[in-house]
Amino acid sequence: MSASSINNDHENVRHGVRVTDAVAHAQSPSPSTAGASSWRLPGKPRATAHIWHQLRRWRAIDITVASVIAVASGIVFRLVDLIATVPYAALQGLLPGLAGLLSGFWYFAGVLAMLIVRKPGAALYAETVAACLELILGNQWGAGGSLVAGIAQGLLTEIAFLVLAYRHWNAWAAVLAGIFAALGGLGYSFVTAYAGINVTGAFAITNILSNVVSGAVVSGALMWLLYRGIARTGALSRFESGRESAAVSDADIRQSDNNR
């Protein structure tokens, strides 16, 4: 092999290395684009974007159904005002604070509205309108005990679903929302009627536990069952909640048929 051939081969290798290095450099991600496939550019988190999108998608039927739920709930609130006096006194006589077991019957409007409508703000809207109607119909609690308390309960119910990013609508989500509604009612009570009471005393602890249990069972679990019952009638076919429930029922039927 001649010296010129050796030199040419050496140059080709050198040029080849340079070309390869250039191609590798061009293909390698720059610091500004490294990992672009594994992370998203700064901006709204997905959960926040989903909530904002849902908040802007309120339809006329959403408002109508949420209003119907609120009106029906307000009437129930007023009926409970009238018939709860005797059992309330009996429970208080049995154990001071135990009457909180009845409180769930005033906490459920926001939970039911949210399970059906599934729009941010539905719980606060339904609970507030229901409390307004209860106040208009007349009650023994006054504006604070109905309207302000209703707003607190609706707000805490919203927070429960916000914690879940408005994406989870199962029975456990309903129970959590019922508990949060109870916390809203308790918060109002402990800054008004029970202000100054020792929160670690027997009455306060009994009252808190009774309210939480009532919120979980009455406002949470029972409202979940009520929602599922309404959905099975086909009345919620225009809602995601109704279509989801129908799909679950169909799947259950197919599973039952397969097991036979």
pLDDT of 61-97, one tens digit each?
999 999 999 999 999 999 999 999 999 999 999 999 9
User: Does residue 219 contact residue 107 with C-beta atoms inside 8 Å?
Assistant: yes
In whole angstroms, give the CA distance from residue 7 to residue 12.
9
Q: Is residue 100 part of a domain?
A: yes
Q: Is residue 70 part of a domain?
A: yes
Q: Is residue 16 part of a domain?
A: no
Give how far the C-alpha of residue 91 lies from the chain's centroid of Cα atoms, to the nearest Å: 31
Q: Is residue 142 part of a domain?
A: yes
Which CATH number is 221's domain given? 1.10.1760
Q: Is residue 258 part of a domain?
A: no
Range of the domain at 186: 46-233
Q: Is residue 125 part of a domain?
A: yes
When divided into structural domains, the chain yields a total of 1
Q: Model pTM greater than 0.85? A: no
pLDDT of residue 208: 97
Q: Which residues lie below 8 Å from residue 14, measured CB to CB, with a gap of 6+?
A: none
Average confidence (pLDDT) over 25-36: 40
Q: Is residue 189 part of a domain?
A: yes
- Angle, in degrees to the nearest 10, between helices 171-191 and 149-163: 140
Give how far the C-alpha of residue 66 lies from the chain's centroid of Cα atoms, to the nearest Å: 15
